[in-house]
Structure 1
Amino acid sequence: MPTPINLYEQLANELDALIAQRVFAPGDKLPSIRHLAQQKRLSVSTVLQALRLMEDRGLIEARPQAGYYVRHRARMLAALPTEAQPLKEPAYVGINNTLMRVLKANESPQVVHLGSAWPPDELLPMRRVQKAVAAAARRDPALLSKVSCYETNEPAFTRQVVRRALDWGQIDSAEIVVTSSCTEAISLCLRAVAKPGDTIAIESATYFVLLQLIESLGMKALEIPTHPKTGASIDALELALNAGLVQACLFIPNANNPLGCIMPEENKRRVAALLAQHDVPLIEDDVYGDLCFTPERPWPIKAYDTSGHVLLCSSFSKAVTPASRVGYVAAGRWAQEVALLKMVSSGSTSQFFQAVLADFLNGSSYDIQVRKMRRVLAQRIARMSDAVCAHFPAACSVSEPQGGFVLWVQMPEQVDALALHLEAVEQGVAFVPGPLFSASGKFGNYLRLNCGNAWSDEIERAIARLGQLVHSHAGEGPRSVGRAA
């Protein structure tokens, strides 16, 4: 004879079933304790016991002075993606051909775009930017035709860059070189600090465009093992530096793409000291620094640099407008070399759009914008995490991004992400396969998803379809699935 269950267990099971049926979806608030007690004709203490049982099961969480909320499923996963192991030897990068095929397929109008990590149009401040464009054109019409092969910087823009750096330190305007995107800034820095055949230390995994740049310049990459929460292993980096294996480093310490991790401040301080000790430059990609979900914006490694070894690269494209194509680098002791390379390779960056961005940055508009984006992007990442956990095999695990808007997913070992991508595109779903984030083809069973777009039924169906394919490739079901609508 089955053992009768208590009233609080009955209520907990009832609410569990409602969550499983998505009557209460992740992020939803449950009815208040008083309301549940009245509705179910139970005592307040019984309702509290039920809610605490559900907390123990990992289904809900209590928020101070706000009530109980349904937890996102991703928080219930047992493990994060495992830390990568370092290469024994530096390797030449060879991803360009595969990457171009993947990116071309991902741009098809017939697919749901979960690949390229562009900020969604509806989150960008287009009306405010339009006003700034009109104001700049009225104030100084000459900017519309102003071109210089020597002077690349618009003073109003560099002044705003220096002012914003005051939150974490001080940079000299003389070391700033304005570029045509953060990517160009990184490319110029690589050319300034290293030569073909040199080895660049990178995080593992890292953004595929950084690997493209290293490959195109004929350099080699040494992958530093990277933890999905704390970033690159400083011990491994120190070993590589002591052995003289690297001539430069290229890291994304704030909201690494694709992991979303933030390097702890103590680790940043240690990196800066190691670079000075070994006289090795660091190119720091900080393009996602303003879109971290921490209470305070995390400092870049540049904040701890007292020797000029850190070249800080960034832009405002992720939060304002990618179309402006304005980036910059605070190049430290390599400022003159970077400025010369900029002059001879592409001339000046649009001084008109520099003025437009300076106007946008001069005031509260930008701060309001990034606060909104942080809030919305954190919610969208949580929603995507929940959908992945609902539709992918239980053996999968996901990252817990601390910034940006991408999600890194580890699938069962037998799943080949490149083969999965070919089939997924045929079924109308695009993503970026994991091997493209490694110099040596690691992460064969990983994929990256763009979480920036507003959640919709179309995206929900796409994730469900992709989950079916992962199940199939993992040997857990048939491969006959339809196109994502």
Structure 2
Amino acid sequence: MLNTEPLLYEKLAAELGGMIAGGVLRQGERLPSVRCLAKERRLSVSTVVQAFRQLEDRGLVEARPQSGYFVRRSMVLRSEPLPRATPDEAVPVDVSQRLVSVLNDAMKPGMTPFSAALPAAELLPVAALQRLYAGVARRHPKLLEGGSHFNMNEPALVRQLVRRSLAWGGPLAAEEIVITNSCTEALGLCLRAVTKPGDTVAVESPAYYLMLQLIETLGLKALEIPTDPRDGMSVEALDMASRNGQIAACLLVPNASNPLGSMMPDEKKRQLATLTAARGIAVIEDDIYGDLYFGKQRPWPIKAFDKTGNVMLCSSFSKCLSPALRIGFVAAGRYRAAIALQKAITSGGTNPITQNVLAEYLESGSYERHLRNLRRIYERQVESMRAAVSRYFPAETRISQPQGAFVLWVELPEEIDTSEVYERAIRDNLVYVPGELFSASGMYRNCLRLNCGNPHTPEIDDAVRRLGALMTKP
């Protein structure tokens, strides 16, 4: 496993950069002197100088001869996007063809990794997982000898999932868990279990595009609910929209939402769980980013406030360990039987070897150590991308301030159509996801989402610069 622990100067630069982004260190303010900071933090002078130079390279500070380092006055701390009014009626979804085209573009050689929300390979514990695969295959040879459409779960993995749920108000019940091939499969199984073609599903606005794609392929309608970049889906708006009984299910990402990075407060989660249970609205909760929080403790999912078994909690390990594992799960509550049936008839059991590999990795304690490091890395990469967009994009640009995960939502001036700019961008090997793909009704044409899952290298910074230049052209 590669050592991805940040260097001392990177840690210091990330800390100071966060203080600048949060307004603790204000524009024009002088930073502590190099020698003073080195003494206080018990670091070498060269380490502090390297940290200051990294901040200077990112455009956050400037050196003044004989005076020291200062927060740049020219640096604009951009406002966050504002919640938007959404259509009152549910609409059919039509995003799949455009989305497939964008995702295919991302696979072309030489394209910048700004579109798909995937982590850089060097951040993943691939070598450790490979060793576990070899060990599991050797110790459990019979795992390759059979299979079942109905016995889908490996007990060792279920046990680890139940243990992990203790950290957020669990535990989950072992008997409600269904192991799936991904979080996306889990979401699709839940939708199939609780809806029928023509039903209405309430979604965040903007919403994760693969959720919209699932709604489209199942013949459902999407009702967009206003979503705050900080607090997530508006429970008040969901209350108003659901009074006529038209909503069959609510599909959302309350922890580090994709694409806004918002984090729904606990009280809002409690209110949403209570409201939906009272009105018979099934809740499908995507918690794939729950472990990638930037705060001090793991946020609780809506599932933690569920009293009736109405919430289906879906997740996977693709954003933390490896997308190639193809292991997800759903804690299905009272819908477990229906979801298990859908799983049995669509894809059967999930790879038992990989289930056991994941179980052993979780049991070893390596996952928690890996997560602590990964969260710091993602937070630093997001902060670097925010700073780069602030430097290079038009002055009126608004930028989300994610509270977890590694995607960034960018709102440009109204006259910029990111779908039109996209055609010019891919000719320059710049690929991103246009904002309209996050809306069933075609909203957010002046927005885009950027993946921050890769280290912010000079090459990445230059790509942001080139993309910003395209966004300034009519």
TM-score (norm 2): 0.85
AA aligned to 1:133 is Y
User: 1:81 touches 1:398 (CA, 8 Å); kept in 2?
Assistant: yes
AA aligned to 2:119 is P
User: 2:378 touches 2:452 (CA, 8 Å); kept in 1?
Assistant: yes
* Equivalence for 1:377: 378
> Quick one: percent identity of the two aligned structures?
48
Distance in 1, matches of 2:145 and 2:72, equals 54
* Equivalence for 2:85: 85
Shift of 1:31: 5.0
Distance in 2, matches of 1:84 and 1:180, equals 35
User: 1:146 touches 1:351 (CA, 8 Å); kept in 2?
Assistant: no
* Equivalence for 2:462: 461
Shift of 1:269: 0.5
Distance in 2, matches of 1:73 and 1:423, equals 29
The structure-2 alpha-carbon separation of the partners of 1:343 and 1:72, relative to structure 1 and needing over 3 Å to count, comes to: farther
Residue 373 (structure 2) pairs with residue 361 (structure 1):
no
Q: Secondary structure at the match of 1:311?
A: strand
* Equivalence for 2:265: 264
Q: Secondary structure at the match of 2:314?
A: strand
The structure-2 alpha-carbon separation of the partners of 1:434 and 1:147, relative to structure 1 and needing over 3 Å to count, comes to: same
AA aligned to 1:467 is G
* Equivalence for 1:9: none
Query: What does 1:138-153 align with in structure 2 at a 5 Å threshold?
Result: 138-153=138-153
Tell which deviates more after alignment, 68-77 or 330-339.
68-77
Distance in 1, matches of 2:344 and 2:117, equals 29
AA aligned to 1:452 is G
AA aligned to 1:244 is G
User: 1:106 touches 1:425 (CA, 8 Å); kept in 2?
Assistant: no
Distance in 1, matches of 2:147 and 2:34, equals 66
* Equivalence for 1:204: 205
The structure-2 alpha-carbon separation of the partners of 1:229 and 1:419, relative to structure 1 and needing over 3 Å to count, comes to: same
Shift of 1:59: 6.8
* Equivalence for 1:476: none
* Equivalence for 1:215: 216
User: 1:72 touches 1:383 (CA, 8 Å); kept in 2?
Assistant: no
The structure-2 alpha-carbon separation of the partners of 1:426 and 1:92, relative to structure 1 and needing over 3 Å to count, comes to: same
Distance in 1, matches of 2:247 and 2:240, equals 10
TM-score (norm 1): 0.83
Distance in 2, matches of 1:217 and 1:149, equals 22
Tell which deviates more after alignment, 179-188 or 127-136.
127-136
| 1:5-28 deviation line (CA, Å, top 9, x unaligned) | xxxxxxxxxxxxxx9xxxxxx9xx
| 1:256-280 deviation line (CA, Å, top 9, x unaligned) | 0000010000000001110111121
Query: What does 1:402-421 align with in structure 2 at a 5 Å threshold?
Result: 402-421=403-422
Shift of 1:68: 8.9
Distance in 2, matches of 1:236 and 1:339, equals 32
User: 1:73 touches 1:390 (CA, 8 Å); kept in 2?
Assistant: no
Shift of 1:212: 0.2
User: 2:77 touches 2:390 (CA, 8 Å); kept in 1?
Assistant: no
* Equivalence for 1:183: 184
| 1:100-152 deviation line (CA, Å, top 9, x unaligned) | 12211222113212111111101101121122112211221112333111100
Q: Could you tell me which runs of 5 or more consecutive residues in structure 2 were left unpaired when the two chains were aligned.
A: 1-19, 21-26, 38-58, 62-67
Distance in 1, matches of 2:155 and 2:204, equals 34
User: 1:313 touches 1:328 (CA, 8 Å); kept in 2?
Assistant: yes
Residue 423 (structure 2) pairs with residue 428 (structure 1):
no
Distance in 2, matches of 1:326 and 1:187, equals 14
Shift of 1:214: 0.2
| 1:206-251 deviation line (CA, Å, top 9, x unaligned) | 1100000000000000000000010000100111122213111001
* Equivalence for 1:102: 102
The structure-2 alpha-carbon separation of the partners of 1:34 and 1:373, relative to structure 1 and needing over 3 Å to count, comes to: closer
Shift of 1:71: 8.2
Q: Secondary structure at the match of 2:312?
A: strand
Distance in 2, matches of 1:456 and 1:267, equals 38
| 1:59-102 deviation line (CA, Å, top 9, x unaligned) | 77xxxxxx99858998712x211202121110000111111122
* Equivalence for 1:135: 135
Distance in 2, matches of 1:459 and 1:302, equals 38
Query: What does 1:32-51 align with in structure 2 at a 5 Å threshold?
Result: 32=33
The structure-2 alpha-carbon separation of the partners of 1:72 and 1:206, relative to structure 1 and needing over 3 Å to count, comes to: farther
Shift of 1:33: 7.6
Distance in 1, matches of 2:199 and 2:416, equals 34
User: 1:396 touches 1:412 (CA, 8 Å); kept in 2?
Assistant: yes
Q: Secondary structure at the match of 1:166?
A: helix
AA aligned to 1:158 is V
User: 1:234 touches 1:271 (CA, 8 Å); kept in 2?
Assistant: yes
Q: Secondary structure at the match of 1:362?
A: helix
Distance in 2, matches of 1:428 and 1:466, equals 10
AA aligned to 1:443 is Y
